[in-house]
Structure 1
Amino acid sequence: MRPADLAREHGLSTQAVRNYERDGFIPPAARTHSGYRIFTELHAAALRAYLALIAAYGHRAGGAIMNALHANELDKALTIIDRGHARLLRDRDTLDRVRKAVDHLTSQSENDWDRTGPGIRSIGELAHRLGVTPATVRTWERVGILAPARDPLTGHRIFRATDTRDADLAHLLRRGGYPLDHIATVVQQVRTARGTDELTAALTEWQHKLTTQGLAMLTAATHLDHYLSTPAG
């Protein structure tokens, strides 16, 4: 096969195929007497595996897995794969915690939170509770996620029970990988209209992403197994 033959299957450029060979993502190609590369079914299988790994684990991990395989470090490659599965499991657990937290957070009225919430906190106390820095809390305020009052005497921020609720929700969504502007929209909706349509849509989208990644991992495993069982030559 020529580089163009491998590239055509995936809509790549021939230069991309050459770069993948250079970076060790596919095995080195043999050369003709005139210097042209000769690719085989082994290279085609490697390219399919590498692209499937990208979809499942990302560019960096996909490349690291192929590099490890080509360095005869199978256990290292499998460890990277295991870490990817562990990360996906953590994400699923996080999503489950977000759903449960949202059910709890949005089931109480503002008056309920004033009575049963953790009371007034300083920015340092709130940051410590969440395990983030005060700078992170200030960033959340700047983009509209939090809207604390100010002490009329000192000018310091005052985080009431409902602010803590908003911070809890923001922290969980942030751990789920959502950008700050999206989180601000969700929290604003919960804070004002008490609506959950946007939040429900966000969690549904998050679930879809995790499902898609899980299926991509299955596909990658199939292609990787085929590549490892393809004879050279």
Structure 2
Amino acid sequence: MSNREGRLRTVDLARVAGLSTQQVRNYEDAGVLPPAGRTDAGYRVFGERHRDALLTYRALQPGYGAVTATRVMRAVHDGDVAGALALVDAAHAALHEERVSLRAAGEALEALAGRDAAAPPDRSGDGPGEPDGRHGPHGPDGRHGPRGLRIGEVAALVGVRTSALRVWEEAGLLVPGRERGTGYRVYGPADVRDARVVRALRRSHHLFDHIRPVLDDLRRAGSSEALRTAVEARGRALTARTRSMLAGAAALHAYLE
């Protein structure tokens, strides 16, 4: 594969990773590879270092993506190892945030399945305000009439203060309808479901930014079972990506050494 003195031609390097010779040239131009030497005739001359760089880049791609992998290798070859490692750290931090959101979705599904039914009602709320025990025309038993439920009824069903429901609405987590004429909030079955999800996730100290995508996924999926399928698939994908990132980080460590 190599010629005299351990040198590698462009075609030799391309064969190592199953690439075209043009891709190898592009990688050198992008900084993925260290600068190549040149023969008297102007042909590129590569060595073992270039082969290692190419294999490291290829190992980084599955977990970190082509853009981040390119930036990491470019930083290394520019002598900015700390910057390269900062890019790796940022990618792992983003993956952690995805896992937090995934955990939130799992906890939301447990709440919808009624697994937290034994937990005592939480009336601490998420903001100041007095409990509103008034019931609308549908009574306190939780039955949804033609116009839905009023805020006091939903607060009693979910086990929070009405002020908490208002805070969640201001944060964009709940979007109840409004009654014509009076302007009173009207909650349908999906709104009550969303309120239960928010309560469960707030009890686990999840931030609004983690709760919002869970509700978006639930509304998009249309049912808790569809969301459960999506969550399980996402969990498998995150696990596979984590393993790919570990492999890529190991290759980068070996290259830096």
TM-score, normalised to structure 2, is: 0.64
Q: Could you list the per-position Cα deviations for residues 88-108 of structure 1 after superposition, in whole angstroms to 9, with x for gaps in the alignment?
A: 223222222221121113428
Aligned to 1:219: 247
- For 1:206 and 1:67, how far apart are their aligned partners in 2? 31
- Residue 228 of structure 2, aligned match among 185, 197, 200: 200
Aligned to 1:28: 35
Task: Say whether the 8 Å CA contact 1:27–1:43 is kept in structure 2.
Answer: yes
- For 1:97 and 1:125, how far apart are their aligned partners in 2? 16
- For 1:86 and 1:199, how far apart are their aligned partners in 2? 24
The answer as to 2:230 corresponding to 1:189 is no
Residue 102 and residue 201 in structure 1: after superposition, are their counterparts in 2 closer, same or farther (change >3 A)? same
Residue 107 and residue 16 in structure 1: after superposition, are their counterparts in 2 closer, same or farther (change >3 A)? same
Q: Which amino acid aligns with 1:165?
A: R
How many matched pairs? 203
Aligned to 2:193: 165
In the TM superposition, residue 219 of structure 1 has moved relative to its aligned partner by 1.0
TM-score, normalised to structure 1, is: 0.69
- Residue 126 of structure 1, aligned match among 156, 165, 169: 169
Q: Could you list the per-position Cα deviations for residues 53-81 of structure 1 after superposition, in whole angstroms to 9, with x for gaps in the alignment?
A: 22222222212211211111111111111
RMSD: 3.6
Task: Say whether the 8 Å CA contact 2:17–2:54 is kept in structure 1.
Answer: no
In the TM superposition, residue 8 of structure 1 has moved relative to its aligned partner by 3.0
Q: Which structure features the higher share of helix residues? A: 1
Larger relative contact order, structure 1 or 2 (CA cutoff 8 Å, min sep 6): 1
Percent identical among aligned pairs is 34
Larger radius of gyration: 2
Residue 15 and residue 160 in structure 1: after superposition, are their counterparts in 2 closer, same or farther (change >3 A)? same
Residue 175 and residue 10 in structure 1: after superposition, are their counterparts in 2 closer, same or farther (change >3 A)? farther
Q: Which amino acid aligns with 1:128?
A: A
In the TM superposition, residue 125 of structure 1 has moved relative to its aligned partner by 5.8
